[in-house]
Amino acid sequence: MVLSSHKAGQSLEKRIGLSLQYDGSGFCGWQRQKHGESVQGCIEKAISELDPYRPIKVIAAGRTDSGVHAAGQVVHFDCSGHIPANRWASALNGRLPKTIRIRESIARPMDWHACYSAIYRRYRYTIFNACKPNLFLSNWTWHKYNFRLDEKLMQKALEGLIGFHDFGAFQRAGSNRAHSWTTIQEVQLIRQGDLISIDIQASGFLYGMVRLLIGQLVAIGEHKLSLEMFEKRWKECRRFEIREAAPPRGLCFIRAGYKDLIFSESAWFESFPQYFLSTIDPPMNPS
């Protein structure tokens, strides 16, 4: 019946928006690559199994590199089948690897775009600043153990970045952007025990921007780089002086924001757990 309606020229085209999470450890990144498994490729394959009548292309709010995670990634795709919008999440989860989970699926207008309609993207980088490693945090944090990082200096460096600036100093080679200007809208640094979480929200991010920036912040926190030299490097676009890049495992795409609250807060806003460790809690009473 579906096939015959297509032959008859009846248009069933609709746009679906998805909020999703993925563990980027085993993927070559969001975007399809010639070699390696991508998140985009896995999702497109699963959609094609459910809607085989047209080529499927999934558009993301922001691309993530190899090994980078996502908690509130937003994507859209166009389909022509009869699956209700709110059923796509469960239908896809049954066909996706366990390292990708669709949190929610909704119908969107055909002129809505996961990337171009977004007014901000937000990333979080998590650092585990303890002497000893923790197996259960190793895939999600950068373990920095040689020095207790000075988070106050790091926070001060972060705050100086807010606004519309040329951040070419934090752009890796290979970018196809026409320019390196963007607006950092909000920053936040929280230390809880041995964990430091750094949030950066911007209208858009340059290729490799967050990891290069975090590498500089850690050097500041280790007292290896002064605030003055850091400011000089990025304001004068001294990319050649920025060699430290944080590893991908501590980075997570938290969410993309839009003018309206599109998804439920549990599926979109609050989908990344805050890790809290305490070294002063008394041992649990076995009785």
Q: Are 231 and 220 in contact (CB under 8 A)?
A: no
The b-or-e profile of 121-141 (16+ CB within 10 A means b, else e) is: bbbbbbbbbbeeeeeebeebb
Q: Are 62 and 55 in contact (CB under 8 A)?
A: no
Question: In a 3-state reduction of DSSP, which class is residue 279?
Answer: coil
Task: Enter the tokens of residue 268.
Answer: 């979109």
C-alpha distances in Å from residue 260, one per residue of 110, 136, 190: 16, 36, 27
Dist. CA 69–CA 46, nearest whole Å: 20
* β-strands 100-108, 14-22 pairing: antiparallel
What phi-psi label fits residue 36: left (phi over 0), alpha (psi between -120 and 50 degrees) or beta?
A: left
Helices 151-159 and 209-221 cross at an angle (nearest 10°) of: 140
Sign of the alpha-carbon torsion through 215, 221, 224, 230: positive
Task: Enter the tokens of residue 184.
Answer: 């950092």
Identify which of 116, 102, 123 has the alpha carbon closest to the alpha carbon of residue 60: 116
Let me know if 65 is a catalytic residue. yes
Of the candidates 65, 111, 150, 194, the residue annotated as catalytic is 65
The residues assigned a catalytic role are 65
